[in-house]
Amino acid sequence: MHTTTDLYTEVQQFYARHFHLLDAGRAAEWAETFTVDGWFWPRTLPEPVRGRAALTAGVRRTHERLAEAGEQHRHWHGMVDVRPRDDGDLDVRCYALIYVIPRGEAPRLHLSCVCTDRLTREDGGWKVAERCVTRDDLHPETVGAPR
Amino acid sequence: MHTTTDLYTEVQQFYARHFHLLDAGRAAEWAETFTVDGWFWPRTLPEPVRGRAALTAGVRRTHERLAEAGEQHRHWHGMVDVRPRDDGDLDVRCYALIYVIPRGEAPRLHLSCVCTDRLTREDGGWKVAERCVTRDDLHPETVGAPR
Amino acid sequence: MHTTTDLYTEVQQFYARHFHLLDAGRAAEWAETFTVDGWFWPRTLPEPVRGRAALTAGVRRTHERLAEAGEQHRHWHGMVDVRPRDDGDLDVRCYALIYVIPRGEAPRLHLSCVCTDRLTREDGGWKVAERCVTRDDLHPETVGAPR
């Protein structure tokens, strides 16, 4: 059993490589960082994107669009809260910022989100089994009565 | 005695939950992450906000204002420098960014700050005993002769 | 031999102090966080800035300019990917954001970059031996055929 310290840095390291792959448009390699039946649910979609083929296809489409537009995306995960589960998986809740950098122009903060992941250990590393992402402009926590 | 590695990740994990509570408007739970007589001094105020009742009340007021305005705040702490003290407390200096996300609009970077905390161990976790926050737009380090 | 957990937090801690020194304009102390013959290559320059004297001089010039303009810079390193090398050095690839905060004005995101460092152990800590920085507005990874 790993200590919390080990788990915490493993998650940070995992997210770094995971988003380096995504932002470089390395679609198939990025999809490999999900479990075989892993899913990603941006809550603006009616249902999750399931499985590596669908995940790869989605990134390829996005990347082609960005290449045509001359834009680079950068994903930052931060304020990472890691909670080990009894089954050995990890519940992670963190903030996510997406920056858009158009060629020859200043960078622009595009979206602020909250990401909740369930990570599972596989082959000595971590994989995303389940991911939900909510957008702060659409799903703010400040709505409703203050607690 | 914990190693620096443990301390460093504990501080990162602490900040994550601490600001998840704040940004969700969970005022009383957030105030519990300070010591009983803990204080928070944004240097734009003439004196610190002292004790959990005052800290809770302050967050409630802010959260009501944000709910009415339809705005979500997100606090990011980063570039965290942790220095253990001889008495077992931690001196932490880090950068802080505050994002504002108006409902239906793009996120906006509101403030860039420097935060210095004294954290103290209590009940196996960390609590904020003292916090000073300076705003980079009002208190830049670049003023005065370069060193 | 240190574990990956130790290395990862050591790099994060190193970057925090390294950029606190830079953003405070403490030019000579910042240059000491490079090896004696360490170099820093922003890819907008035809060749690297080599050695502590040149690194110090460059920061002094920048800091004087910022002091005159009444601007504070803040450097954030994040999404840090640490890969230990066989020779004990570390290959690090991370994202870097540079914020500009003009006196009395809102902060502005100035640049989004990718930083690749080779860090080497010296006197029990880490030093930058080699640094390359590319700007996402000039050197996007999305150019070329999607993979």
A78 touching chain B per CB within 8 A: yes
**Confidence tier at C143 by pLDDT (50, 70, 90):** low
**Confidence tier at C1 by pLDDT (50, 70, 90):** very low
Residues of B in contact with C103 (CB under 8 A): 137-138, 140
* Cross-chain CB nearest to B64 (options A95, A143, A146): A146
Mean pLDDT of A55-69: 96
Alpha helices in chain A (DSSP H): 4-23, 27-31, 52-69
Give the pLDDT of residue B4: 87
Q: Tell me: the pLDDT tens digits for C105-135? A: 999 999 999 999 999 999 889 999 999 999 9
Instruction: Please check the confidence at residue C145 and state whether its pLDDT lies above 60.
Output: no
Q: Are B1 and A118 in contact (CB under 8 A)?
A: no
ipTM of the complex: 0.94
3-state class (DSSP) for residue C71: strand
Question: Which of A3, A9, A99 should one mutate to test binding to chain C, selecting the residue with the greatest count of C CBs within 10 A?
Answer: A9
**Confidence tier at C3 by pLDDT (50, 70, 90):** low
* Cα angle value C139/C141/C142 (rounded, 5°): 115
Q: Tell me: the pLDDT tens digits for A100-127? A: 999 999 999 999 999 999 999 998 899 9
* Cross-chain CB nearest to A16 (options C79, C141, C144): C79
Q: Tell me: the pLDDT tens digits for C20-59? A: 999 999 999 999 999 999 999 999 999 999 999 999 999 9
Give the pLDDT of residue B90: 98
Distances (CA, A) of A74 to A49, A67, A81, B124, C118: 21, 14, 21, 37, 22
Q: Secondary structure of chain A: what % helix, strand, coil (to 5)? A: 30, 45, 25
CA-nearest residue of chain B to A112?
B107
Mean pLDDT of C62-86: 97
**pTM for this model (two decimals):** 0.95
Residues 7-46 of B with CB under 8 A from A: 9-10, 12-13, 15-17, 19-20, 23-28
Give the pLDDT of residue A143: 57
CA distance linking residue B3 with residue C123, whole number of Å:
18
* Cross-chain CB nearest to A74 (options C4, C82, C95): C95
What does pLDDT average to in each consecutive run of 10 residues of chain B (147 residues)? 81 98 97 98 96 98 95 98 97 98 97 98 95 96 57
Helices (H) and strands (E) in chain C, counts: 3, 6
CA-based R_g, chain B, Å = 16
Give the pLDDT of residue C15: 98
